[in-house]
């Protein structure tokens, strides 16, 4: 008498059926978990990719000014004017420097509450154009929902898990789509629109899902470097191996001796709206006062130093402590730029007293991994080749939203009463399933949070559904 395992090894049809059911079960679990997060990611991603146009439409009276032939007011004077529009205890943290005569100057202040507000000043007339909350402006909230559901660290971890489980959903989905009989264009690459009921929903889900899979995979791989756990650690490893170590070796030793009690700050913790990924985990050097009492350079002096080194447009983080530095950061694609000139991405750290450049990090200094991530991020956010890039990203996001909706409709139509409707568990998996176990094991090692969650799902599935076949 043959055991079930022996029978499955000699019966290809039964083996294929069991293999299909196992993949379907994992696809179901992945989709059930991912679906609400995928909907949130798709909607917010579609909106955020058009951030330049939306910001320009909402805040045109603050962002733009009429071009003038008059010389602009000094940045120090503009900052003083901006300070008059906020409470006296507010601390200036950054200011925008631009050679675009049609852009206003944005000065950011940290308020006593811990939140920040932007003050916009006409650079030629000195008129205050208005203020905007940094945290509560519409596109910033859309971005926070996209990144962590506005739930902080826990929300970021949930979004990261959802992205990782989307990889499982994509892998099992393609395996379920894979033709098990003779290949045909209709039903495989193109939907059979004559179908009705649940069949047409299944057809649309599988065929459209195939076409959008590549875009979805690209979105996940380019979004994970910004994730809360995996992305932060990946960034630290890449930085340790390249940019930070080489730049640190060029720093003068006295830079870190300026304030022994000070804790070195990472670039990502500076009060800048857009920080290049490749330098986010690099260490910010410290200034060293050469005379007592220390005399800080003016913003215009720092702008002149940056201009002599080829930087004319950037965000400038202002020093708020004795050992802080001026940091000029140019991240094309963000703010006023729609097209990313990646090779012009640059960060300068300038001693606030001597004006000496302590670090100069350029795109050409990045290692291949950082360059690839930088390119991927620009494409992910629709910033690399203009409107066409934005439309492609929006189309992929909306297609993913369609996948979530069609998946839900399919589940709802087949869901039994008083049951979650999961595909039945297979007690004796065929040998061919081992390659999928290997795939899941590799994914669990590459993405530890997902690995832990997969073990929990497997344990729950084994303990609570042991008797199901």
Assign 329 to helix, strand or coil.
Answer: strand
Burial (0-12, 13-18, 19+ Cβ within 10 Å), 175: middle
Q: How many CB atoms lie within 10 A of CB 12?
A: 11
Question: How far is 394 from 401, CA to CA, in rounded Å?
Answer: 10
DSSP string, 206-257: HHHHHHHHHHHHHHHHHHGGGSTTHHHHHHHHHHHHTHHHHHHHTS-GGGGG
Assign 330 to helix, strand or coil.
Answer: strand
Q: In the chain, what is the straight-line distance between the N-terminal and C-terminal CA atoms, in Å?
A: 20
Q: Is the dihedral of CA 290, 294, 295, 298 positive or negative?
A: positive
Q: Give the pLDDT of residue 248.
A: 45
Ranges assigned E (strand) in 331-366: 346-351, 357-362
H helices within 108-151, ranges in order?
Answer: 138-148
Contact 380, 219 (CB under 8 A): yes
Contact 386, 53 (CB under 8 A): no
Q: Taking the C-alpha atoms of 446, 450, 453 and 458 in order, what is their torsion angle to the nearest 10 degrees?
A: -60
CA 464 to each of CA 31, 249, 427, 459: distance values in angstroms, whole numbers, following the listed order: 20, 56, 13, 8
Contact 317, 272 (CB under 8 A): yes
Q: Give the pLDDT of residue 268.
A: 92
Q: Give the pLDDT of residue 442.
A: 87
Q: Give the pLDDT of residue 385.
A: 85
Contact 152, 437 (CB under 8 A): no
Q: Give the pLDDT of residue 404.
A: 87
Question: How far is 284 from 265, CA to CA, in rounded Å?
Answer: 5
CA 145 to each of CA 38, 43, 357: distance values in angstroms, whole numbers, following the listed order: 12, 10, 37
Two tokens, residue 271: 């009060």
Q: What angle do CA 48, 54, 56 make, to 5 degrees?
A: 135
Q: What is the mean pLDDT of each run of 10 residues along the chain (469 residues)?
A: 46 71 83 91 95 93 92 96 97 95 96 96 97 95 94 92 91 81 70 77 81 92 93 92 52 46 80 91 90 86 96 95 94 56 90 95 92 92 88 94 86 75 72 76 88 84 61
Two tokens, residue 187: 């039903």
Two tokens, residue 185: 């264009």
Q: Which residue bears the tokens 């087949």?
A: 414
Contact 314, 306 (CB under 8 A): yes
Question: What structural domains does the chain harbor?
Answer: 28-48+148-224+391-464 (no CATH), 60-136 (3.10.450), 243-366 (no CATH)
Q: Give the pLDDT of residue 84.
A: 96
Ranges assigned E (strand) in 302-355: 314-317, 325-330, 346-351
b/e sequence 187-221, b meaning 16+ C-beta within 10 Å: ebeebeeeeeeeebbbbbbbbbbbebbebbeebbe
Q: Give the pLDDT of residue 415.
A: 74
- pTM value is 0.84
Q: Give the pLDDT of residue 3.
A: 46
Q: What angle do CA 27, 37, 416 make, to 5 degrees?
A: 50
């Amino acid at each position: 008498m043959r055991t079930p395992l022996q029978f499955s090894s000699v019966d290809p049809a039964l083996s294929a059926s069991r293999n299909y059911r196992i993949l379907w079960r994992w696809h179901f679990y992945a989709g059930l978990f991912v679906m609400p997060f995928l909907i949130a990611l798709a909607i917010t991603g579609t909106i955020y990719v058009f951030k330049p146009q939306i910001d320009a439409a909402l805040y045109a009276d603050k962002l733009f000014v009429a071009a003038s032939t008059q010389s602009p007011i000094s940045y120090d004077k503009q900052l003083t004017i901006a300070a008059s529009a906020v409470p006296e205890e507010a601390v200036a943290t950054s200011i925008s420097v631009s050679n675009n005569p049609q852009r206003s100057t944005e000065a950011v202040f940290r308020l006593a509450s811990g939140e920040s507000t932007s003050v916009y000043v006409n650079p030629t007339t000195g008129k205050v154009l208005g203020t905007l909350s940094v945290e509560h402006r519409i596109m910033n909230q859309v971005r926070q929902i996209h990144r962590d559901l506005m739930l902080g660290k826990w929300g970021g971890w949930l979004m990261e898990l959802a992205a990782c489980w989307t990889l499982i959903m994509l892998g099992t989905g393609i395996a379920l789509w894979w033709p098990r009989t003779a290949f045909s264009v209709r039903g495989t690459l193109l939907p059979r629109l004559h179908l009705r009921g649940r069949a047409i929903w299944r057809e649309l889900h599988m065929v459209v899902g195939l076409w959008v899979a590549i875009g979805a995979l690209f979105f996940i791989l380019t979004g994970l470097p910004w994730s809360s756990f995996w992305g932060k650690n990946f960034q630290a490893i890449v930085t340790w191996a390249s940019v930070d170590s080489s730049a640190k070796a060029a720093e003068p030793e006295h830079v870190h001796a300026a304030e022994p009690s000070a804790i070195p700050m990472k670039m990502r913790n500076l009060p800048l709206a857009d920080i290049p990924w490749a330098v986010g985990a690099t260490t910010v050097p410290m200034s060293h006062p050469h005379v007592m009492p220390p005399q800080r350079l003016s913003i215009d002096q720092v702008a002149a130093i940056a201009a002599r080194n080829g930087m004319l447009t950037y965000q400038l983080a202002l020093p708020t402590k004795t050992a802080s530095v001026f940091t000029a950061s140019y991240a094309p694609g963000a703010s006023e730029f729609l097209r990313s000139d990646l090779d012009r991405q640059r960060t300068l750290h300038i001693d606030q007293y001597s004006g000496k450049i302590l670090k100069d990090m350029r795109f050409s200094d990045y290692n291949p991994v950082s360059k690839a991530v930088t390119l991927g991020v620009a494409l992910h956010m629709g910033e690399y080749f203009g409107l066409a890039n934005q439309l492609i990203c929006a189309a992929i996001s909306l297609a993913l939203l369609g996948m979530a909706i069609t998946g839900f409709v399919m589940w709802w139509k087949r869901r039994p009463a008083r049951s979650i409707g999961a595909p039945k568990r297979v007690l004796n998996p065929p040998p061919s399933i081992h390659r999928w176990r290997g795939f899941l094991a590799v994914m669990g090692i590459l993405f530890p949070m997902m690995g832990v969650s997969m073990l929990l799902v497997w344990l729950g599935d084994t303990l609570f559904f042991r008797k199901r076949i």
